[in-house]
Amino acid sequence: RVASVPDPTLLVRRKAALGGELSPLFYRRPLQVVRGQGPWIHTADGRRYLDAYNNVPVVGHAHPAVVQAISRQAAVLNLNSRYLHPHVVELAERLVASMPDGLDTCVFANSGSEANDLAWRMARVVTGRDGAIVADLAYHGVSEATAAFSTNTYPASARPSHVAVFEAPRNAEDDGIAAAARVRAARAALRTAGHDLALLAVDSVFSSAGILTPRNDFMQGLQDTARAAGGLFLADEVQAGFGRGGRNLWRFQDFGLTPDFVTLGKPMGNGHPVAALITRREIADAFTEVDEYFSTFGGNPVSCVAALTVLDVIEESGLVARSGEVGAELRGRLEALVPDLPVRGQGLMVGVELAGAADFAERLRDHGVLVGTTGPGGGVLKIRPPLIWTAAEVARFVAAFQRAMG
Q: Looking at beta carbons only, is 205 or 400 nearer to ligand PMP?
A: 205
Q: Is 139 in the site for ligand PMP (CB under 6 A)?
A: yes
Q: Looking at beta carbons only, is 217 or 237 nearer to ligand PMP?
A: 237
Q: Looking at beta carbons only, is 67 or 142 nearer to ligand PMP?
A: 142
φ/ψ region of 152 (left if φ > 0, alpha if ψ in -120 to 50, else beta) reads: alpha
Strand order in the sheet with 40-43: 33-37, 40-43, 48-51, 369-370
Kindly give, in sequence order, each residue whose CB lies less than 8 Å from that of residue 117, ignoring residues fewer than 6 positions away.
141, 143, 145, 146
At CA 325, angle to CA 327 and CA 372, rounded to 5? 15
Q: Looking at beta carbons only, is 34 or 208 nearer to ligand PMP?
A: 208
Q: Looking at beta carbons only, is 96 or 142 nearer to ligand PMP?
A: 142
With contact defined as beta carbons under 8 Å apart, do 153 and 141 qualify? no
**b/e for 67-102, b at 16 or more Cβ within 10 A?**
bebbeebeeeeeeebeeebebbeebbebbeebbeee
Interacting residues with ligand PMP between 321 and 360 (CB under 6 A):
none
How many whole angstroms separate alpha carbon 2 and alpha carbon 35? 9
Q: Is 238 in the site for ligand PMP (CB under 6 A)?
A: yes
Q: Which of these segments, 107-115, 186-194, 246-254, 296-304, binds ligand PMP (CB under 6 A)?
A: 107-115
Please identify which residue in 236, 254, 260, 393 interacts with ligand PMP, judged by CB under 6 A.
236
Q: Looking at beta carbons only, is 141 or 176 nearer to ligand PMP?
A: 141
Q: Is 217 in the site for ligand PMP (CB under 6 A)?
A: no
Q: Which of these segments, 39-47, 135-143, 161-169, 277-285, binds ligand PMP (CB under 6 A)?
A: 135-143
**b/e for 267-303, b at 16 or more Cβ within 10 A?**
bbbbbbbbbbbbbbeebbebbeeeeebebebbbbbbb
Beta-bridged to residue 235, according to DSSP, are 202, 262
Smallest gap from residue 169 Cβ to ligand PMP (A): 16
Please identify which residue in 239, 300, 303, 373 interacts with ligand PMP, judged by CB under 6 A.
239
Mask for 251-280, x = binds ligand PMP (CB under 6 A): --------------xx--------------
With contact defined as beta carbons under 8 Å apart, do 265 and 54 qualify? no
φ/ψ region of 194 (left if φ > 0, alpha if ψ in -120 to 50, else beta) reads: left
Q: Which of 306, 321, 241 is nearest to 277 (CA)?
A: 241
Smallest gap from residue 380 Cβ to ligand PMP (A): 15
Beta-bridged to residue 107, according to DSSP, are 277
Q: Is 111 in the site for ligand PMP (CB under 6 A)?
A: yes
Q: Looking at beta carbons only, is 221 or 241 nearer to ligand PMP?
A: 241
How many whole angstroms separate alpha carbon 19 and alpha carbon 203? 30
Q: Which of these segments, 100-108, 140-148, 178-186, 352-360, binds ligand PMP (CB under 6 A)?
A: 140-148
Please identify which residue in 203, 217, 254, 260 interacts with ligand PMP, judged by CB under 6 A.
203
Q: Is 176 in the site for ligand PMP (CB under 6 A)?
A: no
How many whole angstroms separate alpha carbon 185 and alpha carbon 180? 9
Beta-bridged to residue 353, according to DSSP, are 380
Using DSSP, state whether 23 is helix, strand or coil: coil
With contact defined as beta carbons under 8 Å apart, do 326 and 391 qualify? yes
Q: Looking at beta carbons only, is 233 or 401 nearer to ligand PMP?
A: 233
Please identify which residue in 44, 96, 142, 193 interacts with ligand PMP, judged by CB under 6 A.
142
Interacting residues with ligand PMP between 1 and 60 (CB under 6 A):
none
Q: Looking at beta carbons only, is 55 or 73 nearer to ligand PMP?
A: 55
Site residue total, ligand PMP (CB under 6 A): 15
Q: Which of these segments, 63-71, 138-146, 177-185, 322-330, binds ligand PMP (CB under 6 A)?
A: 138-146
Strand order in the sheet with 372-374: 343-345, 350-353, 380-383, 372-374
Smallest gap from residue 265 Cβ to ligand PMP (A): 4
Applying CB under 6 A, which residues contact ligand PMP? 111-113, 116, 139-142, 203, 207, 236, 238-239, 265-266
